[in-house]
């Protein structure tokens, strides 16, 4: 196994870093991509926080999803690819196409490079946003047979980009894959111990509560620990049963934000003294959304149950995630430990 090389795209990403930790701990060699090689030191330091001193078992290639340059070099000699890199446009004036085209084209660039390099299997980090968005009230939980309804008018650009990018990946495998295998992981909101100041959007939910946001929106979400997401990627990479399959990653059932706040207060005691205790009425949230773009994005989700099931991953791959409560607490404790609360 020590000679097996795995490419992990987007090495500055939260999930990617935990995938690298899992691979290195399992004895694989890892190559990762970054847009700027000056961030190599940062990535290595984050992995050390996660318990791994990678040394020469980790190498870096500079490339970008927006160009073909570098992807052949990145994939060369790799047996597997874990592809989670995805462009994230910024700024209030970003168009929907600025999300979609780079995500779709980026997936196809990585898949072409992997196929041409003779990679056995690509594990794609997709999202729950490709499964459970845009649906009318319906029977829950969501599973891997569901796809987000892009015609509903309530799908945000990020979720639309993840849906179209994953669909494009499956179409590529069917039409141009030449025998290369694909598995997709669709996590819900990803929590877990942060490795430094650069962490995922989902973790900001915990940080904002610890920092004293005034109230919780009536939003429902599933949660999963990043360490379990990485473990599921590793299982999907090597298990024959994973070829051609999608896997939802969720721990237990979804919960409402006020329930998440209750967990923090109960488990952290005085350290959760600023965590909100009330729910903002939906009418107030809609009113605030007129002035707040972040709040505006949440309005379509108000009061919607987004429960999902990971039964398939548990049954086919033997995946056993830790509890959502432990994931919530581990996130909060890491933010406190690294001095990131109140900053």
Residue positions annotated with a catalytic role:
162
What 49-55 contacts at long range (C-beta under 8 Å, 24+ apart), as own/partner pairs, is 49/195, 49/196, 50/17, 50/18, 50/21, 50/193, 50/195, 51/21, 51/25, 52/20, 52/21, 52/24, 52/25, 54/20, 54/24, 54/30
Task: Please state, in angstroms and as integers, the Cα–Cα distance from residue 291 to each residue in 219, 279, 295, following that order.
Answer: 19, 19, 8
Both structure tokens of 221: 């979400």
Measured in degrees and rounded to the nearest 5, phi and psi for residue 202 equal: -60, -35
* 222: helix, strand or coil: coil
d(CA 198, CA 207): 13
């Amino acid at each position: 196994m020590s000679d097996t090389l795995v490419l992990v795209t987007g090495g500055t990403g939260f999930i990617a870093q935990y995938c690298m930790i899992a691979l290195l701990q399992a004895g694989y060699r890892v190559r990762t991509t970054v847009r700027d090689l000056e961030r190599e030191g940062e990535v290595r330091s984050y992995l050390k926080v996660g318990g791994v001193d990678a040394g020469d078992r980790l190498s870096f290639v500079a490339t970008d999803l927006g160009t073909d340059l570098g992807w052949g070099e990145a994939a060369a000699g790799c047996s597997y690819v874990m592809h989670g890199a995805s462009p994230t446009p910024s700024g209030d004036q970003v168009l929907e196409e600025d999300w979609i085209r780079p995500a779709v084209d980026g997936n196809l660039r990585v898949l072409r490079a992997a196929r041409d390099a003779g990679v056995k299997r690509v594990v794609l980090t997709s999202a729950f946003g490709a499964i459970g968005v845009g649906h009318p009230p319906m029977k829950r939980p969501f599973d891997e047979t569901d796809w987000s309804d892009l015609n509903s008018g309530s799908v945000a650009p990020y979720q639309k980009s993840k849906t179209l990018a994953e669909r494009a990946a499956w179409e590529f495998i069917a039409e141009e894959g030449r025998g290369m295998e694909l598995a997709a992981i669709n996590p819900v909101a990803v929590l877990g111990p942060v490795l430094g100041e650069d962490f995922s959007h989902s973790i900001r939910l915990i940080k904002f509560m610890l920092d004293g946001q005034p109230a919780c929106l009536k939003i429902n979400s599933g949660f999963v620990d990043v360490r379990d997401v990485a473990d599921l990627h590793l299982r999907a990479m090597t298990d024959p049963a994973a070829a051609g399959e999608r896997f939802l990653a969720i721990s237990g059932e979804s919960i409402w934000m006020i329930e998440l706040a209750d967990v923090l207060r109960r488990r952290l005691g005085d350290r959760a003294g600023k965590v909100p205790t009330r729910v903002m009425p939906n009418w107030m949230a809609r009113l605030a959304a007129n002035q707040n773009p972040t709040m505006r994005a949440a309005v379509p989700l108000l009061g919607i149950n987004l429960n999902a099931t990971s039964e398939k991953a548990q049954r086919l791959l033997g995946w056993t995630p830790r509890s959502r409560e432990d994931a919530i607490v581990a996130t909060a404790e890491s933010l406190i430990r690294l001095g990131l609360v109140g900053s």
